[in-house]
Amino acid sequence: KIGQGACVFPRWIRPQLAREKIEGCHICTYVMPAEPQVVLGKDKAFTYDFVFDMDTQQDAIYGHCTESLIEGCFQGYNATVFAYGQTGSGKTYTMGTGFDVNIGEDELGIIPRAVNHLFRGIEERRQAATEQGKPVPEFKINAQFLELYNEEVVDLFDTARDVEARRQKSSVRIHEDASGGIYTVGVTTRSVNSAAEMIQCLKLGALSRTTASTQMNVQSSRSHAIFTIHLCQVRMCSPDNVSAPLRVAAS
């Protein structure tokens, strides 16, 4: 739940790839009806907090896992969505950073949906303030995109050098502050004003990621990627209520 530090660990059995269908691959897992369990083969069962079956749509996954987290960002809470699994398990598809031209709107992943949700929420709050005769809140949105490959940190927004040069001379540094928080230095930060602009940044960064062919995935993402959105909300109050603006920041 938002503000309580709790985490949800759902498990999603992804749909079969076109190649797997052509090759006649069989599905070896299934979900127990009304139970958060994945059964593998005949005698292995694994229990999770929540399980999505193969026919689950992307919007249902977003609504269950991410929607409340984005709403919490408007209240100043930080949020993280982390996809974990072996190569070919569907991480890129679930997060929505593959950008296949054949994917329709109903197949959009978590990050594109979160971006649209974020900017839709901004517009709704501006509109509500206008209708209520209150000062319209100001929003500043920045984005960063990092890749962790072979223990090296790569700035995917760094367009000054080619990909290989960026890996050899990466200026990005990871530090820990006095309270144990992790922060980065030397990362390119881009200011964004619309959902379309944010998606374009995501696409350009994704094109710079390290990919390679494996036996399980023709174009496997051979690295970890972290796409970070910083939201700063400034609520202007009338002079009768307070003498200074209220700032709410989240990422």
Q: Does 90 carry a binding-site annotation? A: yes
In angstroms, how far is CA 149 from the centroid of its own chain? 18
124/129 Cα distance (integer angstroms): 9
- Annotated ligand binding at 91? The verdict is yes
Residue 40 exposed, middle or buried by CB count within 10 Å (0-12, 13-18, 19+)? exposed
Is residue 205 marked as binding? Answer: no
Q: Helix H segments across 79-235?
A: 91-95, 110-131, 163-168, 195-207
Fill in the DSSP letter of residue 169: T
Query: Is 41 marked within a binding site?
Result: no
**C-beta neighbour count of 30 within 10 angstroms:** 13
Q: How many residues does the chain have?
A: 251
Please give the Cα distance from 196 to 214 (Å, whole number). 32
According to the annotation, is 98 in a ligand binding site? no
Q: Where would I find the H helices in the chain?
A: 18-22, 58-65, 67-73, 91-95, 110-131, 163-168, 195-207
Tell me: is residue 72 an annotated ligand-binding position. no
- Amino acid at site 212: A
Residue 180 annotated as binding? no
C-alpha dist (Å) from residue 4 to 9, 49, 66, 192: 15, 17, 15, 30
With H, G, I as helix, E, B as strand and everything else as coil, classify residue 250: strand
> Which residues participate in the annotated binding site for ATP?
85-92
> Which residues participate in the annotated binding site?
85-92
